[in-house]
C-alpha cells in the first residue's frame, strides 16, 4: 500500500509540474500542453489568472469530495461488517453543498465581469483592422490606410495535407499553423478589430491575445488588443465553418512601431495621409488597388509567396 501511495504522490507531482510548465508557455502551442497559455496581453493574463483561480478551487473541491468517498468506502466496507443506514439524505449537508458553489460563483462574478467589460471597451483605439472570414481564408484591411490582402494556408502545409502527397507532416514547420501572408501589426498600440464574414460563421482566435470573436455574415463584431513585445503568434478559426475548417490558420506578427510603418508604406495601395487630397483628385486610387489585391483569386493566394516586407 505504501508504494501505491508513493506512486500516487509521484503522479500528482508530475501533473503539477506539467501544469506549471504549461503556465510558462507564452508563444505557440506545445506538444502535450495541458494548460491554457498566459498569453502576451493584459487581457490574456487576466483571463489566465481567472482560469487558474477556478482550477485551484476545483482541485480543492475534488480532493475533498473524492477523499471523503475514499474514506467512506474504506472504513465502511462490507468486509468490516458495516451496516448501511436507513436515511438517504441530510438536509444540512445538502444546504451546504448548494450554498458553497453559489457563494463561489458570486465571488468569481465580480472579477470576471470586470475583465469582460474591459475586453469589450474598444475606445481610444489608435488603428482599426477589418477581418473578414471566407471559406477558407481571411481577408485583412487596414482601415483608412488603403492596404488589404488575403491570408491563406501556406503552400507547404497545403501540399502535405493532400492524400498520397508522400510528405510527412512532421517535417513541415508549423504544419497547418502557417499562412502565405500574416497579419502584421505594431506593438505598443491599441488596435481595434472589426470582424465579419462573407459566407458562413467563422471565429477569429489567437490564444496568445486572450480572446476569440465570431465573424458572422451581415454582422460586425468588435475586439481589441495591445501587445508590448514583438513576436509571431498563431491561431485558427474556432468555428466549425465547413469541410476545410481545419485548414484555416491565423498568423499575427507584431513589429515595433517604426518597423511596422516601414512595412505598411511598402504595401500596394498604401495611402499616405498627406496624399489624401491628391488621391481625391484622381492622382491615386487606393480603393481600386486594394480591391485588386483581394479576394478575387483564392487559389492564387494559396500559392502566393510570403509577404515581401517579411
Quote the DSSP letter at residue 107: H
Let me know whether 104 and 40 are in one domain.
Answer: yes
The CATH number of residue 46's host domain is: 1.10.287.90
Position 67 in a domain: yes
Answer yes or no: is 259 within a domain: yes
Do residues 64 and 143 share a domain? no
Q: Give 200-258 pLDDT, tens digit per residue.
A: 999 999 999 999 999 999 999 999 999 999 999 999 999 999 988 989 999 999 999 99
**Residue 310 included in any domain:** no
Q: Flag whether 291 is in a domain.
A: no
Alpha helices per DSSP H over the chain: 2-24, 42-75, 91-120, 155-161, 257-265, 276-280, 286-293, 298-302
Q: Let me know if residue 292 belongs to a domain.
A: no
Same domain, 143 and 57: no
Q: Which of 65, 100, 120 is the last residue of a domain?
A: 120
User: Do 69 and 178 belong together in one domain?
Assistant: no
Find the domain containing 229 and state its range: 127-266
**b/e map 201-230, b = 16+ CB within 10 Å:** ebbbbbbbbbbbbbbbeeeebebbbbbeee
Instruction: Find residue 149's DSSP bridge partners.
Output: 140
In a domain, residue 15? The reply is no
pLDDT tens-place string over residues 73-107: 999 998 988 888 887 788 898 999 899 999 999 99
Q: CB-based contacts of 46: which residues, under 8 Å, 6+ apart?
A: 115, 118, 210
Grid cell of 73 as nine digits: 468506502
Number of domains in the chain: 2
Q: How many CB atoms lie within 10 A of CB 296?
A: 10
Amino acid at each position: 500500500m505504501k508504494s501505491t501511495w508513493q506512486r500516487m504522490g509521484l503522479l500528482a507531482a508530475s501533473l503539477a509540474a506539467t501544469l506549471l510548465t504549461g503556465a510558462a508557455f507564452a508563444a505557440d502551442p506545445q506538444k502535450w500542453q495541458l494548460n491554457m497559455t498566459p498569453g502576451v496581453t493584459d487581457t490574456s493574463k487576466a483571463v489566465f489568472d481567472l482560469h487558474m483561480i477556478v482550477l485551484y478551487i476545483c482541485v480543492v473541491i475534488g480532493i475533498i469530495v473524492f477523499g471523503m468517498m475514499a474514506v467512506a468506502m474504506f472504513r465502511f466496507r462490507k468486509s468490516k461488517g458495516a451496516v448501511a443506514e436507513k436515511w438517504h439524505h441530510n438536509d444540512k449537508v445538502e444546504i451546504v453543498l448548494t450554498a458553497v458553489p453559489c457563494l463561489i460563483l458570486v465571488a468569481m462574478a465580480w472579477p470576471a465581469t470586470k475583465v469582460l467589460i474591459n475586453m469589450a471597451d474598444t475606445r481610444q483605439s489608435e488603428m482599426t483592422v477589418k477581418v473578414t472570414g471566407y471559406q477558407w481564408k481571411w481577408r485583412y484591411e487596414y482601415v483608412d490606410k488603403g492596404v488589404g490582402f488575403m491570408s491563406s494556408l501556406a503552400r507547404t502545409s497545403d501540399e502535405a495535407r493532400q492524400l498520397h502527397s508522400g510528405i510527412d507532416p512532421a517535417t513541415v514547420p508549423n504544419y497547418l499553423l502557417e499562412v502565405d501572408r500574416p497579419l502584421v501589426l505594431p506593438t505598443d498600440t491599441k488596435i481595434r478589430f472589426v470582424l465579419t464574414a462573407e459566407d458562413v460563421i467563422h471565429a477569429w482566435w489567437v490564444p496568445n491575445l486572450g480572446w476569440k470573436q465570431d465573424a458572422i455574415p451581415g454582422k460586425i463584431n468588435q475586439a481589441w488588443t495591445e501587445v508590448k513585445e514583438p513576436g509571431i503568434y498563431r491561431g485558427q478559426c474556432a468555428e466549425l465553418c465547413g469541410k476545410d475548417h481545419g485548414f484555416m490558420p491565423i498568423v499575427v506578427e507584431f513589429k515595433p512601431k517604426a518597423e511596422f510603418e516601414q512595412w505598411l508604406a511598402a504595401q500596394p495601395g498604401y495611402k499616405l495621409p498627406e496624399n489624401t487630397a491628391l488621391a481625391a483628385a484622381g492622382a491615386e486610387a487606393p480603393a481600386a488597388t486594394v480591391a485588386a489585391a483581394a479576394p478575387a483569386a483564392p487559389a492564387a493566394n494559396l500559392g502566393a509567396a510570403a509577404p515581401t516586407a517579411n
